[in-house]
C-alpha cells in the first residue's frame, strides 16, 4: 500500500524515521506495517539530571538506512561505517534527531536494570570475527529497554560536548564509545571510549541518533496526527502501544505540563488503542 501526498503520509514518514529511518532521501514510504514503526526504537526513562525522555534507536544505523537500497543485499543490515562525525550529525538532523552526549549514551545503555556482561555476548576482539556483523545479532547483549549492540560491533560517534554554549566552535577531537569487533570488551560498568578526529572515517565506527522525545513528537508527529482519520490513528496507536506504558504516561504528563491544550494527544499517548 502507498501513503503519499497526504498529511498521514508525512506522519508515517516521520514515524518511520523514528523507527528505523527507512524513508531515505529520494525514496517513498511504502508497504508500511504498523509493527515496524517502533520496532527499532525504545522510549527510555528520563535522565537522572532532569529533562525530557530520550528516544534512541535499538540498533546502530545500518548501511541500507544510510546509503539506500543500492547497497548489496548482504550488506544492508551491517552498521553504516566509513562515516565521519559531521556526516553522522547531518544525517541525524535531517530526521529531527542528533548524536547523543556521552552521559545520554551511557544512560540509554544502562537504564532499566542490568544486562549480560559483553565478553562472549558481543562482537568484540575476543570472538576473533574481525568484521562487523548485522545489527542485533547478539540477543544476550540486549539492554533491558530493548537496545542492541551497545557493546562491540562498531564504535559509535558522540556529540561534541555535553552542553555546547551558543557560538561554541566544536573541538575536532571527538569521542567514540562502546568498542568494536577490533577492540576487547570493556571492564566494569563504564563502556570503553577513545579519542579520534571528527573527520576520521573507519570501518569500525558507526552511530545511532537520539531525539528529545517531547520536542520530537511535538514537531514531527502531533501536527499531522491531528489530520489523520480514525483508522489512521489506530494504525499509529498500534505502533505506540509497544512503548512501555509507564513511560508513555509520564511522557503524556510532560505534554500537559508544557501545553495544557494538548489533552487529546496526551490521552492518545496514554491509551493509543482504546
The C-alpha torsion from 22 through 23 and 25 to 26, rounded to 10°, is 110
Nearest to 56 by CA among 15, 19, 83, 103: 19
Q: What is the pLDDT of residue 19?
A: 43
Residue 20 lies in a domain: yes
Q: What average pLDDT does this structure show over 203-222?
A: 89
On whether both 192 and 67 belong to a single domain, the answer is yes
Q: Is residue 52, in this structure, part of any structural domain at all?
A: no
CA distances from 225 to 53, 127, 138, 215, 230 (A): 20, 46, 35, 15, 10
For residues 67-91, average pLDDT = 93
96-107 per-position pLDDT tens digit: 889 999 989 998
Q: Are 56 and 150 in contact (CB under 8 A)?
A: no
**Same domain? 72 vs 124:** yes
Q: Positive or negative CA dihedral for 57, 164, 168, 215?
A: positive
Do residues 64 and 139 share a domain? Answer: yes
> Does residue 248 or residue 22 have the better pLDDT?
248
Of 207, 241, 257, the residue at which a domain comes to its end is 207
Q: pLDDT category, 206, cuts 50, 70, 90?
A: very high
Are residue 39 and residue 74 in the same domain, yes or no? no
Q: Quick one: 72 and 122 in the same domain?
A: yes
Residues 6 or more apart in contact with residue 165 via CB below 8 angstroms: none
Q: What percent of the chain has pLDDT over 90?
A: 41
pLDDT of residue 84: 96
Domain contains 1 = no
Asked whether residue 249 falls in the same domain as residue 131, the answer is no
Residues 138 and 260 placed together within one structural domain of the fold: no
| pLDDT for residue 8 | 47
| β-strand pairing of 41-43 with 54-57 | antiparallel
Task: Answer yes or no: is 225 within a domain.
Answer: yes
18-27 mean pLDDT:
36
Hey, what's the cell of 150? 551497545
Residues 11 and 35 in one domain: yes
Query: For residue 197, is it within any domain?
Result: yes
Per-residue pLDDT at 235: 80
pLDDT tier for residue 142 given thresholds of 50, 70 and 90: confident
Residue 130 lies in a domain: yes
What is the pLDDT, as a whole number, of residue 112?
A: 72
Q: Has residue 37 got a pLDDT over 60?
A: no
129 and 239 share one domain: no
pLDDT surpassing 80 at residue 222: yes
Write down the pLDDT at residue 207. 98
**Model confidence at 7: pLDDT above 80:** no
User: Do 168 and 234 lie in a common domain?
Assistant: no
Is the domain of 200 the same as that of 216?
Answer: no
Q: How many CB atoms are located within 10 Å of the residue 14 CB?
A: 23
Domain that holds residue 16: 7-47+212-270
Could you tell me the three cell numbers for 57? Answer: 534507536
Kindly report which listed range (7-16, 134-143, 176-185) carries the lowest average pLDDT score. 7-16
* End position of a domain, from candidates 157, 181, 207: 207
Domain-located, residue 54: no
- Say whether both 11 and 126 belong to one domain: no
pLDDT of residue 196: 92
Residue 28 confidence (pLDDT) above 50: no
What integer pLDDT is reported at residue 34 of this predicted model?
34
User: Strand, helix or coil at 177?
Assistant: strand
- Total-model pTM: 0.81
Asked whether the predicted pLDDT for residue 190 surpasses 60, the reply is: yes
Span 63-80, average pLDDT: 92
Element holding 193 (H helix, E strand): strand 193-197
Write down the pLDDT at residue 40.
66
Q: Among candidates 271, 242, 248, 270, which has minimal Cα distance to 39?
A: 242
Here the CATH number for the domain that contains residue 68 is: 3.90.1580.10
Using alpha carbons, select from 172, 187, 178 the residue that is nearest to residue 205: 178
Name the more confident of 168 and 134: 134
Name the domain boundary from 179, 207, 235: 207
In our burial notation (b when 16+ CB lie closer than 10 A, e otherwise), range 225-263 reads beebeeebbebbbbbbebbeeebbebbbebbeeeeeebe
User: How many structural domains does the chain have?
Assistant: 2
Amino acid at each position: 500500500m502507498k501513503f503519499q501526498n497526504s498529511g498521514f503520509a508525512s506522519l508515517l514518514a516521520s514515524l518511520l524515521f523514528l523507527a528505523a529511518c527507512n524513508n531515505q532521501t529520494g525514496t517513498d514510504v511504502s508497504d508500511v506495517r504498523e509493527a515496524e514503526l517502533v520496532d527499532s526504537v525504545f522510549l527510555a526513562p528520563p535522565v537522572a539530571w532532569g529533562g525530557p525522555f530520550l528516544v534512541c534507536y535499538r540498533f546502530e544505523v545500518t548501511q541500507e538506512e544510510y546509503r539506500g537500497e543500492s547497497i548489496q543485499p548482504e550488506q544492508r543490515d551491517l552498521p553504516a561505517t566509513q562515516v565521519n562525525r559531521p556526516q553522522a550529525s547531518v544525517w541525524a538532523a535531517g530526521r529531527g534527531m542528533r548524536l547523543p552526549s556521552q552521559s545520554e549514551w551511557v544512560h540509554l545503555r544502562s537504564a532499566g536494570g542490568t544486562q549480560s556482561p559483553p565478553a562472549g555476548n558481543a562482537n568484540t576482539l575476543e570472538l576473533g570475527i574481525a568484521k562487523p556483523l548485522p545489527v542485533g545479532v547478539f540477543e544476550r547483549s540486549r539492554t533491558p529497554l530493548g537496545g542492541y549492540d551497545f557493546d562491540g560491533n562498531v564504535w559509535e560517534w558522540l556529540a561534541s560536548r555535553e552542553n555546547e554554549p551558543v557560538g561554541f566552535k566544536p573541538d575536532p577531537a571527538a569521542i567514540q564509545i562502546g568498542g568494536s569487533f577490533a577492540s576487547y570488551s570493556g571492564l566494569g560498568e563504564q563502556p570503553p571510549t577513545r579519542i579520534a578526529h571528527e573527520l576520521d572515517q573507519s570501518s569500525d565506527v558507526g552511530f545511532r541518533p537520539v531525539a528529545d522525545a517531547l520536542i520530537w513528537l511535538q514537531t514531527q508527529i502531533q501536527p499531522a496526527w491531528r489530520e489523520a482519520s480514525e483508522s489512521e490513528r489506530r494504525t499509529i496507536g498500534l505502533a505506540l502501544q509497544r512503548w512501555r506504558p509507564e513511560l508513555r504516561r509520564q511522557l503524556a504528563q510532560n505534554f500537559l505540563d508544557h501545553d495544557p491544550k494538548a489533552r487529546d494527544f496526551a490521552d492518545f499517548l496514554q491509551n493509543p488503542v482504546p
